[in-house]
């Protein structure tokens, strides 16, 4: 029997039209979208289905939208296929905001609580750094040690005794690493990467420098929010971005969610940890198929499938 992990995407997987087919086909999916709309007092589902894209990509909208889509898919799988995480999943995991989705899927947060937390998280991350001060860049073809060396070399400000923040934001696996920090330091890092022969180094079209120390104000906001809305114990363990370990203790999970705002998303290590636990089948629920692509590079011997549309769901249920 395959050993499954259910995984949930992060920012970058969104697209106008997400969830539209699902809502048209399944009443239980419409119920999820309506609950999120009502909780946030916002027609988020309309924005997901019809755009405009420039509003959907705002962090405060993207984060709860991706969660809503993923949980709608899960509800359909539960209704149509009788799938239960307790019986079918060894662990759950998610990329950045996907960690909240994973915890909601595993019963540690209600849909309403996760919606409010992600709306706040998006707003706090956007407000943490003035527009234009921060940036993120992808280093394609680099390994972890090269990325760390690039960050260390780029941090000192030329001809001064000062340093700027530039740190590893995502270790996505397959030679895909992302750095984050002050824009000027990120620009220096790109030039350093090119001199080192890194295959490709490029700025990313993001609105803020996520997962670095510049996000400290957002981490403080989430610490307060999570103090007032703590997670419960998940019905299956979470493999957490910050620790790349299996976590079940609610207090520990709460602390890790706060740390995650400024810390590296250790996705490669999370996947490696899950395969070491015996996982040989990864099921991505929600928009896009970004994580499925990463899984195939990190753990090529494992199976990976994604469900975001009615057709996907039918294929996944047949496979499971």
DSSP 262: T
State whether 198 and 221 are in the same domain. Answer: no
State whether 23 and 124 are in the same domain. Answer: yes
Query: Domain boundary at 160, 185, 206, which?
Result: 206
List pLDDT tens digits, range 255-299: 999 999 999 999 999 999 999 999 999 999 999 999 999 999 999
State whether 109 and 254 are in the same domain. Answer: yes
The number of distinct structural domains making up the chain is 2
Q: How confident is the model at residue 13 (pLDDT cuts 50, 70, 90)?
A: very high
State whether 153 and 294 are in the same domain. Answer: no
Q: Which domain holds residue 198?
A: 134-206
Residues classed as catalytic = 96, 211
Query: Domain boundary at 206, 227, 242, which?
Result: 206
List pLDDT tens digits, range 93-147: 999 999 999 999 999 999 999 999 999 999 999 999 998 899 999 999 999 999 9
pLDDT confidence of residue 1: 77
Q: Of 66, 60, 125, give the one whose Cα is nearest residue 95.
A: 66
Q: Provide the token pair at 83.
A: 């799938």
Query: Domain boundary at 206, 228, 250, which?
Result: 206
State whether 109 and 144 are in the same domain. Answer: no
For residue 233, give Cα distances in angstroms to 83, 107, 210, 249, 253. Answer: 20, 8, 27, 6, 9
State the CB neighbour count (10 A cutoff) for residue 13: 25
Contact by Cβ (8 Å): 209, 127: no
């Amino acid at each position: 029997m395959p050993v499954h992990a259910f995984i949930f995407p992060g920012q970058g997987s969104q697209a106008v039209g997400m969830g539209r087919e699902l809502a048209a086909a399944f009443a239980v999916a419409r119920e999820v979208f309506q609950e999120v709309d009502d909780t946030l007092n916002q027609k988020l589902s309309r924005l997901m289905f019809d755009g405009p894209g420039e509003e959907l990509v705002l962090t405060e909208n993207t984060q709860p939208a991706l969660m809503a889509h993923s949980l709608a898919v899960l509800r359909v799988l539960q209704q149509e296929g009788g799938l239960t995480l307790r019986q079918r999943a060894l662990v759950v995991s998610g990329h950045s905001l996907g960690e909240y989705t994973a915890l909601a899927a595993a019963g540690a947060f209600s849909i309403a609580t996760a919606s409010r937390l992600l709306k706040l998280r998006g707003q706090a991350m956007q407000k943490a750094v003035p527009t234009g001060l921060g940036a993120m860049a992808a280093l394609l073809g680099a390994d972890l040690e090269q990325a760390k060396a690039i960050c260390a070399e780029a941090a000192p400000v030329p001809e001064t005794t000062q340093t700027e923040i530039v740190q590893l934001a995502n270790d996505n696996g397959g030679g895909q690493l992302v750095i984050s920090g002050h824009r000027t330091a990120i620009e220096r890092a790109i030039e350093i990467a090119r001199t080192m022969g890194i295959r490709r180094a490029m700025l990313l079209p993001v609105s803020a420098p996520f997962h670095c120390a510049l996000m400290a104000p957002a981490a403080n906001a989430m610490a307060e929010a999570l103090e007032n809305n703590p997670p419960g114990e998940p019905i299956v363990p979470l493999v957490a971005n910050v620790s790349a370990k299996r976590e079940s203790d609610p207090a520990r999970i709460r602390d890790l969610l706060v740390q995650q705002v400024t810390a590296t998303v250790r996705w490669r290590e999370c996947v490696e940890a899950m395969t070491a636990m015996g996982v040989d089948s990864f099921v991505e629920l929600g928009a896009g198929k970004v994580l499925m692509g990463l899984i195939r590079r990190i753990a090529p011997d494992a199976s990976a499938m994604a469900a975001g549309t009615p057709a996907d769901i039918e294929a996944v249920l047949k496979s499971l």
